[in-house]
Structure formats: C-alpha cells, structure tokens
Amino acid sequence: MPITGTTRLTGLLGSPVSHSLSPLMHNTAFQLLGLDYVYLCFDVKEDGLEEAVRGLTTIGVVGFNLTMPDKTRMVDLSDELSDAARLIGAVNTVRYTKGILKGYNTDGEGFWRSAGDHGFDPAGKTCVLLGAGGASSAVAVQGALNQLSTLYIFARPGSKRRAHTEALVCRLNEETDCHVILADYHDSSALRDALGASDILINGTPVGMSPDEAHSPIADASMLHPSLVVADLIYHPQETLLLKEAKAAGCTVFNGMDMLLYQGAAAFRLWTGHEMPIPAVRRTLAFSK
C-alpha cells in the first residue's frame, strides 16, 4: 500500500532505535491487512522527549512505542495510564485519541500471551523470576494482575534499582492478590526451595545472551524439575544454555521471541483495532535475521 496524503503515523521513540525490529513488524502487518498506516523510528533522547511528543500530537499521530531511555519519562507525559504502566512505572505504548495521551505497557501482556501458547495459565500458580530490570518488572506486574498466586523475584541486593524494586514489590503486595517475595539472587538455597515449589521459572537477566552464551543464570541445573515451565526473555540465541539444560531436565521451554511479537501485537490492536496477522509477521521476522 503506497504512502498517501491520508496515511496515518505510528512509530518508535528512543535512543538508539536504528536496530529495532518494530518497523518491520508493524509495516508488514499494515501491508498484509491493507491498512493505511506507516511506522517510523525517531531517535529521541530523554531530554528531547517532551518536545517530540508535543510535535507528534500537533501533527495527529495515532500512537507510538517507546524504548529506553524514554519509557520512564513517558509516565509523566501521559494524561492517563493503564494499570500495568502505572504499576511498572514505564510506558512502552501510547495511544493518542481525542486529545488524550494514554500510556500502556504491553511487554508483560506479550510475555504471558506467549506463555499461554505453551499451555501455561498464571492463575493460582507460583513463579520464580530472575532479575528486576525493565523487562522483568513488566512480566512481574502483568503476572500479578493475571492472578499469579506467589511470585519470587530473585535480584541482586547491591543493584542501583534496589529502592525501585522494593517499592514495586510493596505496590504489588498492596494492590494485587499475588504474594510477592523479594529474594537475594545469590542465595542458592532459597532459590532451590522456591524452584521446588514453583510452576514456572523466568529469566529476566541478560545472563546467557549472545555473545555470553556459555553461562546460565541457574548455576546448578539439578534445581530444574520436569514439572517446571522455563522461559527465557532472551531471544538471541534462540536457545540459551538455560533453555538447553531445562529441556534436558524434561521442562517445557520457550524463549523471548513471541514476547517481542505479542507486545507489538497489543500495540497494533490499540492503534488500529485489528489483530496483527501473527504467523505471517513471525515468518517475516524469522527471515530478517
């Protein structure tokens, strides 16, 4: 579909953005559905975000995604926030309609939809999550909103985000029915006990990501048991050492590729009202590497 005088604008703000797969994902979906939209990338640092957002609203943007460092700053620039964006304290998707900028965070929704494809429903389940950064926070919040019963977050105590993580854990315990426990990433005995009682393990740290493929965030693979679903938010490599060892232990495993796809699909739905044609877009992303 050619760009015309009626083509509607969506895009990505952040810095850097040139490596992003989002333009390929969204523009493929627009073309396949014959929708008169385009998705472009704009390299915008945090100090330029307010001006960029004002400009985009002036020209009538439909909505946009944000990547670091703009996700947290967008919280203050939004007129309204979804529950997930408010609890996480980060916005990855904005919809602009009737003069209102509404901020959403679709990362956690993307992850749990991907888990659903593997037959996993978080309701009433116990989860171990490794890491407490941007992606982990989104997965934690949406997991709690989706009725996880217990969530163990194993994070490094010396982290510069510690205060932020502690505040997030308090908010989730106060505002959801999920019991959230913050544990020390280095406490292998607590980890073994938590994994023994858990239904799903999620790696939200970069340990095992290319080029550091020889490492797993679970140093002792005997902690993995066959009834555990094991997910890695990493998608490069497609199969991390953690996923290899979990597969060998008889666990159901999946990587972060569909989280990426489904967080985009959720944004696509917010902007267009249409479902993204997932199988065709997934094939296009696979061929792009």
Rounded (5°) CA angle 156-162-166? 110
- Residues 47-106 binding ligand NAP (CB under 6 A) are none
- Residues 133-192 binding ligand NAP (CB under 6 A) are 133-136, 155-156, 159, 161, 185
Q: What crossing angle do the helices spanning 134-145 and 107-117 adopt, rounded to 10°?
A: 70
80 versus 184: smaller Cβ distance to ligand NAP? 184
For the bound state, the minimum distance from the C-beta of residue 65 to ligand NAP, rounded and expressed in Å, comes to 12
Told to check if 202 binds ligand NAP by CB under 6 A, we report: no
For the bound state, the minimum distance from the C-beta of residue 116 to ligand NAP, rounded and expressed in Å, comes to 15
Told to check if 112 binds ligand NAP by CB under 6 A, we report: no
For the bound state, the minimum distance from the C-beta of residue 59 to ligand NAP, rounded and expressed in Å, comes to 29
Question: Which positions ≥6 away from 150 have C-beta within 8 Å?
Answer: 126, 127, 178, 179, 180, 181, 197
Helix (H, G, I), strand (E, B) or coil at 47: helix
Q: Are 232 and 244 in contact (CB under 8 A)?
A: no
For the bound state, the minimum distance from the C-beta of residue 97 to ligand NAP, rounded and expressed in Å, comes to 26
Told to check if 264 binds ligand NAP by CB under 6 A, we report: no
Told to check if 282 binds ligand NAP by CB under 6 A, we report: no
Which alpha helices (H) appear in the chain, and where do they start and end?
22-33, 49-58, 70-77, 83-88, 107-117, 134-145, 162-175, 188-196, 241-248, 257-272, 278-287
Q: Could you tell me how many residues of this chain bind ligand NAP (CB under 6 A)?
A: 23
Residues involved in catalysis: 71
Binding site for ligand NAP (CB under 6 A): 131-136, 155-156, 159, 161, 185, 204-207, 209, 233-235, 256, 259-260, 263
